[in-house]
Structure 1
Amino acid sequence: SGIEGNFALCEGSVYMDEWRRIFDSQFIAKNRHFYKRNSKLQSALEAARSEEYTKLLLPTLSNFEFDYPVVINEDVIKWIQYFQTRGRKAFVTWLKRAEDVIPQSAPVLEKFGLPKDLIYLAMIESGFNNKATSVARAAGTWQFMRATGRNFGLKLNDYVDERRDPEKSTVAAARYLTYLYTLFGDWHLATASYNAGEGRVARSMRGHSDKSFFALSAARRLPNETRNYVPKLMAAMIISKNPTRFGFEVSEGSRALRTRGLALEKSIRLADLATSIGVDLKVLEGINPELRLGVTPPGQEKSPYILRVPESSYATAFAAVDSLPQASRTVQVAARVKRKETVNQFASRYGISLSSLLKANPHIRPNVRLSKGQQVIIPVALGTGQYERLTKEDKVSKRKMRASARKGRSVKVASRRPAKSRE
């Protein structure tokens, strides 16, 4: 009927709630006498309601093509409704970013023989935002933790964090998802493992006869976040395949800037290159998100560092590189004292010599106690792993900083703020 067609689009929570109220009352009136226990009746009601949801929504999806095993049930419907209401603003942003991200990243998954629809996993992980950082310190479009990123080929050092590189992180995600599917042989469990970890999912399966994701979820063998994760992924796929059917206007995303790789055999500052070729520094930073301090790592003749530059500026950049100054390997980072302590204690905690700390902070005397919140300059030698250790241990802010490395000027670091950006 027309009503069913409207319901299939999940176009309003008011209508959906009314449909559910009518369905539930009719089912209970018809089937109450079959069940002695109310809990059994409730379970049967939920199963019947999910089955009816499926019947209503499947015709809407008949023209969609999924290469990931999509299931339509009440949990998935709940997330579709969420994205249409409370989560609408964020989802609109995600859809806009998808216009640029999917054409570049989905072919990488296909090259690995994976379902292209797994690209929507990056959508629910980060909203396709390579700047996203979770409270747990996962970073980038695919939200890799440091250890997992390294295990699947990503570099993390003083100069680069490849978790934020769209292409390299997608390759790493493809390797990780291939590994997870090899372990479980099931895409629902593989994607659940991407969220909870393969060990947690494997433990949830022990001693349980039905090892399917939805059975484990119903038995509450998985964490709550993971029980929601797979339905959320499916909802994102369903809406993204045909956003207009679900009430989202489709607008063209910002056209991705065409870039070309520039081979560098020396370390340079992005700021110097930007000035030399007349390109906005933010443009260079935006197309090279893996660079942590705006300084390229030292390259070699046989192993140069490949820096992305706008294709239209490649010739100018190629000609300008030789005249650019070599970037200093010393950066001064400004950190804030977290608790009262002596200068010696502070230097020891950061793993630097007292003499170098005092040299960088001539206003500080060696015998004073530092106050909580006081700003102290820390000299960091790039390429030694010192900066990576400081940020890994959360001793300085993880926010992206622009280093004035050539002249050795300090890079101010604000006191730590909750680090999360998914919109």
Structure 2
Amino acid sequence: MKKRFLTGLAAMLAFGALVQAQPTEKQLSALPILASLDSLTSVLYGSGMLNNTSPVQAEQLDFSPEKDLPQFPGKLIQERMSSLGSEIPLEYNSYVKGFIDLYGRRKSELTSKMLGLSEYYFPIYEEILDRNNLPLELKYLSVVESALNPKATSWAGASGPWQFIYSTGVRYGLTINSYVDERRDVYKSTQAACDYFRDSYELYGDWLLVIASYNCGPGNVNKAIRRSGGKKNFWAIQQYLPRETRGYVPAFVAVTYLMNFAAEHGITTTPADFYSLVQAVEVDELLTFEQLAVALDLSTENIYDLNPHFTKEMVPDIGGSMTVYLPYHKAMAYACMRDSICEMPLYDENGRAYRLDLRVEKVRYKVRKGDNLSSIARKYQVTPSDIKEWNIVRKNRVVPGSYLTIHIDKKERVYLDLPEQPVLAQKVSPENTEARYHTIKSGDTLYSISRQYEGVTVDMLRKWNNLADNQVLVPGSVLKVAEGS
């Protein structure tokens, strides 16, 4: 898969210092990859996936992770790699050592967060890799590609946990349009990555060359093989590969090692605030995340975290059913009420009932000098392929002065003649020091109750009232909506 620049960890693997020798401390300090890793950490925090950031207390170690990181002999590290029994050859050398130092020392905090996220993503990857009879260690490529962030997108357009570019994603059967980007669907993109791995292995018969081709494309790998005199071994052709790929494969080996021997390097796990059990449901009608959130007593953020492949916070009706991932108990609730969710009214901040009117508005855009399909698509939050389809255009070139038809989604509130939802005017704030309570009425959900009290969230209500995720609200019972001091 040819990608000249990749999001996150892979974005800055192209540095020449690793080409001939292990980088020095001074060289590592100057690497842009450090800033890139810091940026990834910020993205993960912002996504809400790392809300709980207190490290798990590991077994007592005989050194301080902050000050006295262990230095293991290369022979021991190689023995540990061999003990994994991987079909992928894992070799310890100066190139790999540079990345073990980077991930294990300078960026051990990020590695700790990846360990937490892996508890959710790795079982998904392992099931799909096993189903395709592929080495399970290939799951670590997603760490290098995106730091296990399905929302990761590079400036060059690579997207999702496996960082597919548009053309490769489409080639491997992923749907990419204005509403859906299956490169960000953890399940479907992983299957697409497996298809790529299998095709590439049939070509090279060597897993490290498969990994190299995933980064720089088979064309560059084939060229390096020819320049090396026909050798089909990564370390033998490394010097002939693009600069970023020379570091990409050693980074994969280092990540594979550290994710298995983190504790030995003083790295504990930072748990991710994520659902442990998720179920796929099929939705065959247009449904907004807001409608789902109200009906299932979830936040729209929860739904988006599990479904980042829906780009406009709605499940579109574009022919055929769409896959939506929900917490298991919410998926069961959806199955019971799926026929009535679209009919359920929504309520604004003043308690007035409304429904959402979704329609498409067509606009004419006059192409300006310097425009291209990608820049126009970004302006209107659509994809270049959408513009080509709407205008029956085959080529990527656009002519200044010509006109293009763009389809813009409009989402408007249509107010209904229904009784208003009761809204309490009382504000819950730090100045209100007494505990306050809400009597549950028929039709109440934690989400609707939280909206009646400023500054109160569903998570706060669960915490204050010791409620389980699947707790049933009984009309007439009382909920605490403000914690007394």
**Which residue among 200, 203, 217 is the counterpart of 2:223?**
203
Contact kept? 1:156, 1:388, Cα under 8 Å: no
Name the counterpart of 1:310: 327
Distance 1:81 1:99, change over 3 A: same
Distance 1:154 1:345, change over 3 A: closer
Question: Is 1:226 matched with 2:245?
Answer: yes
SS in 2 for 1:132: coil
Q: How many residues align?
A: 311
Name the counterpart of 1:90: 110
Unpaired runs of 5+ residues, structure 1, are 1-12, 15-51, 334-342, 352-376, 396-402, 409-423
**How do 1:152-231 and structure 2 match up within 5 A?**
152-209=172-229, 210-217=231-238, 220-231=239-250
Structure 1 CA distance, aligned partners of 2:179 and 2:325? 15
**How do 1:78-117 and structure 2 match up within 5 A?**
78-117=98-137
Structure 2 CA distance, aligned partners of 1:308 and 1:388? 29
Name the counterpart of 1:242: 261
Contact kept? 1:158, 1:386, Cα under 8 Å: no
SS in 2 for 1:328: strand
SS in 1 for 2:77: helix
Distance 1:56 1:283, change over 3 A: closer
Structure 2 CA distance, aligned partners of 1:106 and 1:134? 25
Contact kept? 1:263, 1:304, Cα under 8 Å: yes
Contact kept? 1:266, 1:326, Cα under 8 Å: no
Name the counterpart of 1:417: none
Structure 1 CA distance, aligned partners of 2:372 and 2:99? 45
Q: CA RMSD in A?
A: 3.6
Compute the TM-score of the two structures, normalised by the length of structure 2. Answer: 0.57
Contact kept? 1:264, 1:299, Cα under 8 Å: no
SS in 1 for 2:174: coil
Identical-residue share of aligned pairs (%) = 27
Unpaired runs of 5+ residues, structure 2, are 1-23, 26-71, 345-354, 374-378, 399-408, 415-485
Structure 1 CA distance, aligned partners of 2:198 and 2:332? 39
Distance 1:247 1:304, change over 3 A: same
Structure 2 CA distance, aligned partners of 1:276 and 1:61? 49
Structure 2 CA distance, aligned partners of 1:381 and 1:68? 40
Contact kept? 2:117, 2:271, Cα under 8 Å: no
Structure 1 CA distance, aligned partners of 2:382 and 2:254? 47
Question: Is 1:277 matched with 2:278?
Answer: no
Structure 2 CA distance, aligned partners of 1:306 and 1:149? 18
Structure 2 CA distance, aligned partners of 1:231 and 1:276? 48
Structure 1 CA distance, aligned partners of 2:249 and 2:77? 18
Name the counterpart of 1:367: none
Offset from partner CA, 1:101-128 (integer Å, 9 cap, x none): 1111112111111100000001101011
- How far off is 1:273 after superposition? 2.2
Offset from partner CA, 1:68-126 (integer Å, 9 cap, x none): 21111111111101112223232222122111111111121111111000000011010
Question: Is 1:139 matched with 2:159?
Answer: yes
Flag the structure with higher helix content: 1
User: Higher mean Cα deviation, 91-100 or 158-167?
Assistant: 91-100
Question: Is 1:330 matched with 2:354?
Answer: no
Structure 2 CA distance, aligned partners of 1:57 and 1:263? 46
Contact kept? 1:269, 1:327, Cα under 8 Å: no
- How far off is 1:57 after superposition? 2.7
Structure 2 CA distance, aligned partners of 1:195 and 1:135? 16
Matched residue type, 1:310: P
Name the counterpart of 1:405: 411
Matched residue type, 1:107: E
Structure 2 CA distance, aligned partners of 1:145 and 1:389? 22
Contact kept? 1:158, 1:388, Cα under 8 Å: no
Matched residue type, 2:180: V
Compute the TM-score of the two structures, normalised by the length of structure 1. Answer: 0.65
Question: Is 1:120 matched with 2:128?
Answer: no
Structure 2 CA distance, aligned partners of 1:107 and 1:223? 32
SS in 2 for 1:263: strand
Structure 1 CA distance, aligned partners of 2:83 and 2:130? 21
- How far off is 1:62 after superposition? 5.5
